[in-house]
Structure 1
Amino acid sequence: MKLRIKDMREDRDLSQEAVAQALHIPRATYCNYETGRRNIPNDVLCSLADFYNVSLDYLLGRSDDCTPFRK
Structure 2
Amino acid sequence: MAKLLKCSQQTYSRYESHTTELPLESLIFLAEYYDTSTDYLLGITDQIKPYPRSNEN
Structure 2: give runs of 5+ residues left out of the alignment.
Answer: none
Count of residues paired in the alignment: 53
In structure 2, the residue corresponding to 1:64 is in which secondary structure? coil
Query: 1:32 — aligned with what?
Result: 14
Q: Distance in 2 between matches of 1:47 and 1:20?
A: 12
CA RMSD of aligned residues (A): 1.1
Measured after TM superposition, the shift of residue 69 of structure 1 is 2.7
**Structure (1 or 2) with the greater helix fraction:** 1
Give TM-score, length-normalised by structure 2: 0.81
In structure 2, the residue corresponding to 1:32 is in which secondary structure? helix
Query: 2:50 — aligned with what?
Result: 68
Report sequence identity in percent. 36
Relative contact order, higher structure (CA 8 A, sep 6+): 1
Measured after TM superposition, the shift of residue 70 of structure 1 is 2.5
Compare CA radii of gyration and give the structure with the larger one: 2
Code of the aligned partner of 1:37: T
Give TM-score, length-normalised by structure 1: 0.67
- Residues 5-34 of structure 1 show CA distances to partners (whole Å, capped at 9, x for unaligned) of xxxxxxxxxxxxxx1111221111110000
Code of the aligned partner of 1:61: G
